[in-house]
Structure 1
Amino acid sequence: MPEPSRELTTHGVGPWPGEWPEGEQYDPELLANGDSRNVIDRYRYWTMEAIVADLDARRHPFHVAIENWQHDMNIGSIVRSANAFLADRVHIIGRRRWNRRGAMVTDRYQHVVHHPDVEAFAAWARAEGIPIVAVDNVGEAVPVDRAELPERCVLLFGQEGPGLSGEALAAASSHIEITQYGSTRSINASAAAAVVMYEWCRRYA
């Protein structure tokens, strides 16, 4: 494969040099004009549909769920991390609308589904036979590095500040937390989500 031109932007590549590669995954417009998207080199010049199809064939069996009662701006960042760690799905519980700015368009490649409330979300999890793992530093939560973390599960995160609702905590089959060493009681919700997703990948990916 020829080395693509780097003239477009520091984050992308320019038009494909020389004879175009063959394959249905390639987008003629991107080959002709360059690809400035924030994608790994494997997916340069691919259509969005081809990228999603390839990701779908390799997705990990963990899901991510987020309560959305206060239009938390961290949700976009959590979606971005879910894409980076190749989660199966992201579940938004509560308000359907969420701030996509932090996702940096990764929601185009990540399946995002909506549940109107915790009851509906819990019903989905029961029907699928997927345990809910609540992530919040409350009660007798077990530190994530020592906790039992099922390979097939849904990691449930609360909002910045209030954390998970009582209903969400009650719906979970286990509770985990992230060990901290400083003075603050909690860390940023999107940072916490990334830590737990990485721990899952460290064990299973």
Structure 2
Amino acid sequence: MTGDRDAEGDDGGSPASAAAPSPTHELSTAGVGPWQGELPDDPRYDPELLANGDTRNVIDRYRYWTMEAIVADLDEHRHPFHVAIENWQHDMNIGSIVRSANAFAADTVHIIGRRRWNKRGAMVTDRYQHVSHHEDVAAFVAFARAEGLPIIAIDNVPGSVAIETTALPERCVLLFGQEGPGLSPEALAAADAVVEITQFGSTRSINASAAAAIAMHAWVTQHVRF
């Protein structure tokens, strides 16, 4: 994979839309205390977490694992879609979008524009989700073209089509704009397709991070076998 992986995020991973795991109900939502009984002989486990407990926001499967081991395991089953966000105004939604990208096992999140972004909404998931930075739209488009990734813009502009009735490519980048102004004209012009989320109420648009989560889930429902 090419492109500048942001030092503020983690490095990449790939593959594939295999069957999704069975639904689980996490039992340790408040974390777990120190390991009880004989310590596991497994390099994935963190000695400090085993001794002191694990209160991180991770699923039960990853309790007591090192961050590096979790990232390596996630890399084995990340989905082949990417997420990109324009960041010209230090958008507060980016952290939430990164968190959703982690939840849906996106390959990489691409930040276009400002390198720095507000991580509070990510709830530390940026440690496990690959994040890459591109100076501007042109640099991002060059990356996408080199990787053979169609750019699917999500915005409710004239000419957009309903995401609910659109076949999303398995390998693609879902591109989102700033809260308020939406995608820049340059980003829209570079898109291979522009889709919108159908709305039924009185508001003109929905929150950018909510739109991103909906679009990612739309990809999942089309490409993941349950």
- In the superposition, the TM-score normalised over structure 2's length comes to 0.86
Q: Which residue of the partner structure matches residue 202 of structure 2? A: 183
Root-mean-square deviation (CA, aligned residues, Å) is 1.1
Q: Does 1:115 align with 2:144?
A: no
Runs (5+) with no aligned partner, structure 2? 1-26
Q: Deviations over 1:50-109 (max 9, x none)?
A: 000000111000000000000000000000000000000000000000000000000000
Q: Which residue of 2 aligns with 1:65?
A: 84
2:119 maps to which residue? 100
Q: Report 1 or 2 for greater relative contact order, CA contacts < 8 Å, sequence distance ≥ 6.
A: 2
* Per-residue Cα deviation, 1:135-158 (whole angstroms, up to 9, x for no partner): 000011111110120000000000
**Would the alpha carbon gap of residues 148 and 10 (structure 1) be closer, same or farther in structure 2, given more than 3 Å must change?**
closer
Larger Rg over CA atoms: 1
Residue 155 (structure 2) aligned to one of 117, 136, 142: 136
Q: Secondary structure at the match of 1:134?
A: strand
Compute the displacement of 1:10 (Å). Answer: 5.8
Identity %: 76
Q: Any runs of at least 4 consecutive aligned residues in structure 1 with deviations exceeding 3 A, and if so which?
A: none
Partner Cα distance (2:30, 2:143) in 1? 39
| Distance of 2:123 and 2:88 partners within structure 1 | 22
SS at match of 2:164: coil
Aligned pair partner of 2:220 in 196, 201, 204: 201
Structure-to-structure mapping, 1:12-27, within 5 angstroms: 12-27=31-46
Establish whether residue 44 from structure 1 lines up as the match of residue 70 from structure 2: no
Task: Give the counterpart letter for 1:30 in structure 2.
Answer: L
Amino acid aligned to 1:171:
A
Please list every run of 5 or more consecutive structure 1 residues that lacks an aligned counterpart in the other structure: 1-5
* Mapped partners of 1:161, 1:150: distance in 2: 27
Provide TM-score, normalisation by structure 1. Answer: 0.95
Matched, 1:158 2:177: yes
The 1-side partners of 2:29 and 2:103 are apart by 20
CA distance in 1, matches of 2:172, 2:114: 23
Total equivalences in the alignment: 198
Q: Distance in 2 between matches of 1:101 and 1:119?
A: 28
